[in-house]
Amino acid sequence: MRIVTGMSLKQKLLLMVGISTLMIFLLQIYYYMNFYGLTEDKENIHTSNIMKQVEERLVSFNQDIKDAALASAYNTMTHDYLGSGDPIYRLKLNKMVMEILSGVKAANKNIQSILMVDKSGNIIGASNPDDYVVLDGVKKKYSLNIQNPKAQFYGKITAPELANPAYVYIQPIFSSINDASDTPELGTCVVIYKTDALDHIVRDIKGTPNSRLLIVDNEQRIVTASEAAAKGKFFDVESLDELSKADHLQIKEIGSLQWKIVSLIPIKEMTDELRAIRNIGLIIGMVMTLIILLMGLLFIRSVTIPLSAIIRFVNYIGNYGGKQRLLLSVRSEIGILATEINRMLDKIDEANEKFIQANTSLYQMELAKKQAELSSLQSQINPHFLYNTLECIRSIALASKVMEIVEISIAMAQIFRYGIKEENFVLIRSEIGCIQDYLRIMSIRYVDKFHADIRIEESLLDLKMPKMILQPIVENAVYHGLERKSGKGGISIKGWKTKDGWVCFEIADDGKGIGEEELRDLQHYLSRSETHQQVLGERGMGLLNIHKRIRLAFGEQYGIEIESRIDAGTRVTLQLPALDRKDDEGDELPKPEPNRPKRAPSI
C-alpha cells in the first residue's frame, strides 16, 4: 500500500511554525491594544481622583476666605462702626472692630490681613504698609472703585515694595436694616490671603515620578506647582497642544476662583506597566517559537534516528553476531519493531542466559553466606566486655590506691561509651564532655606539660553537631603541637554563635606549629577537599577527613580553616550551622546559610 501526500514533512513543519508565529504576533497586538487602553483608563481615573481631591481642598480654601470676609463684614459692631456718622462713637467702636478683625485673621492661618474701607474711603485694620500697597495695586490693576466693588476673587498683585505676591478677595458690606429706598452699602471688606498652604496640596499628591500638577489663576499665572521652580511663572495656554503630544493632559476649572487645575503626566510613564507586559509577551512568543522549532526537530529525530539505528544494528548483528540488544526508548511502531527484533535475539540466546543466570545465582548465594558468617563473628564482640575490662582495671587500681589509673579507666570508659553511640549527631555538651575526658587522660600522662582553657557559650550546649568532630583536632593539638614543644604550653578551646546564626569553634595551641610549605599544602587541599595521603601525612589526613564530613553534611560554605606559624602555635577554626534538637530528626539537615561567617583574627 502506497500513501502519497502533497506536502513534505519539512513543509508541514514550516507551515505549522508560520501559523503559530502569526497567531502569537496577533495575540501580542491584541494584548498590546487592550492593555494600553486599560492603562490609559486607569490613569484617567487616578488623575481625576487626584484632581478631585485638589479641587475639594481649593473649594475648602476658597470657602474659608469667604467665611472670614463674611464673619468680618456682617458683624453688629462692624455695621455700627461703618454706619455711624458720629466720629466720637466710631472712635469708641474702633478698638472692638480691630479685635474682631484680628480674631478672624487669627482663626485662619492663610489670611495675611483683613481691611475695612468705609464709604468715605477710610481704611481700618491695615497692620503694615504692604496692605496699602496691595490695595492700591488692586485699584490700579482692575480700575476698581473700592467703595462699590463686586464680591469676587482678584488675581495676583505684585509691586516692587512687596516681598511676596498677594491675592485679594473683596466683599461689599450692606446694611441689613435699611430699606431699599435708602443707600444700603456701608463699605467694603478686603481680605488679603496667602497661597502657601496650596503648595502642600500639590506637592503631597503625586501620580507618577515625573508628573506635574499645577494650579493656575485667572491671569494664567501659576499659583503653585509640584515643582517649586514653576511657581509664579506664566502658563502658556497656547502650548497645550504641544504639551499633550508628550504628556497626558487634564484640566479642571474651579468656577468660584476662576482658577484651573492642570495635570501633566508623561505618556512614557503611563505605559511603563504596558511596556513590561509587552516585553513579557515578546519573551513568551519567543519561547513558544523556540518550543515549536524544538518539537519539529524532535519529531524528525524521533523518526529518522531510530530507523538509522535499527539498520546499523541489523547490519552489525548479521555480519558479526553477538549478544548486543537494540535499545530504543520509543513507543511508536518503530519501538515495536525494535522490541520484536530483541525478542527474536532473546530466543536465540535463551539457553546461554539461563546458564549464566544459574551461575550468578550460585555466586550471590555464596557471597550472602560469607557476609552472614562475617556479621555473626562481628556481633560476637560485646561492648560490655570492654566496659567490664575497664571496670576491672579501675577496681585493681582502687585496691592498689593508684588514682591515676582509676581516673584514666573512668575517662576511657566514658570516651568509649560516647564513641560507639549510634547517633550521628550529639549535643555540643556531650562533645565537650568527651574532650574533657581526653584532656584528663593527657594531663595525667603529661604532668604539668600544658594547661587547657575551655570557654563555650552557654547557649551552644543544647545545640547539636556531628559526633567526634572536635576531639580529633584537640588530639592533634596535643600530639603534634604541645608534646613536641620544649617547656610548658597551653591549649584554648572556644565556642560561640555569630550574629548570622553560625556556630564557630576555635582550637588554638602555642605549640610547635606547622612549617610554611606543609601549611600551604594543607590549606590548598582543604580548599579543594581532595585526599592526598602521600602529601599531607597523618595530621593533615585527620583534619581533611573532618573537613570533608562537615562539607558533605552541610555544604561547601562550612568546614575548617587553619592558621599556624613555626614555634608560635596553631589555630583551627570550624564553622557549623546551628542545629536544634529536632534539626537532625529523620536525617534531615538544615539548608546551608547564604553567607560564610567571618574568620577569626590571625594569630
3-state secondary structure 77-100: HHHHHHHCCCHHHHHHHHHHHHHH
pLDDT level of residue 491 (50, 70, 90 thresholds): very high
In this structure, the number of other CB atoms found within 10 A of the CB of residue 156 comes to: 18
The average confidence (pLDDT) of the chain is 75
Q: What is the pLDDT of residues 95-120, one digit of tens each?
A: 888 888 888 888 888 888 888 888 87
- Which amino acid is located at 217 in the chain? D
The residue count for the chain: 603
**Which stretches of 280-431 are assigned E, i.e. beta strand?**
425-427
What is residue 151's predicted lDDT score, i.e. its pLDDT?
75
Q: Tell me the pTM.
A: 0.39
- The architecture CATH gives domain 74-194: 2-Layer Sandwich (3.30)
H or E segment and range at residue 375: helix 350-379
* Strands 259-266 vs 212-216: parallel, antiparallel or unpaired: antiparallel
State the Cα angle at 321 between 318 and 323, rounded to 5°. 130
Question: Would you state the cell numbers that stand for residue 332, as one nine-digit string?
Answer: 511508536
**Residue 412 near residue 441, CB atoms below 8 Å:** yes
Instruction: Say which DSSP state 466 is in.
Output: E
Residue 236 and residue 558: Cα distance in Å, rounded?
Answer: 68
pLDDT at site 1 = 42
> Which CATH code of 3.90.180.10, 3.30.565.10, 3.10.520.10, 3.30.70.1710 fits the domain covering 445-587?
3.30.565.10
Q: Which of 147-151, 279-283, 507-511 has the highest mean pLDDT?
A: 507-511
pLDDT digits (tens, 9 = 90+) for 164-183: 778 888 888 887 665 444 55
Domain layout of the chain by residue ranges: 74-194, 445-587
pLDDT per residue over 433-449, tens digit each? 999 988 988 888 888 78
Task: Assess whether pLDDT exceeds 50 at residue 596.
Answer: no
Whether residue 582 has pLDDT greater than 90: no
Rounded Cα distance, 142 and 131, in Å: 17
Residue 425 φ/ψ region, left for φ over 0, alpha for ψ in the -120 to 50 degree band, beta for the rest: beta
Q: What is the pLDDT of residue 18?
A: 67
Locus of grid cell 578551646: 493
C-alpha distances out from residue 63 to 70, 134, 548, Å: 10, 22, 80
Contacts of 472 (CB under 8 A, 6+ apart): 542, 546
Residue 198 clears pLDDT 80, i.e. is over it: no
Q: Contact at 8 Å (CB) between 72 and 101? A: yes
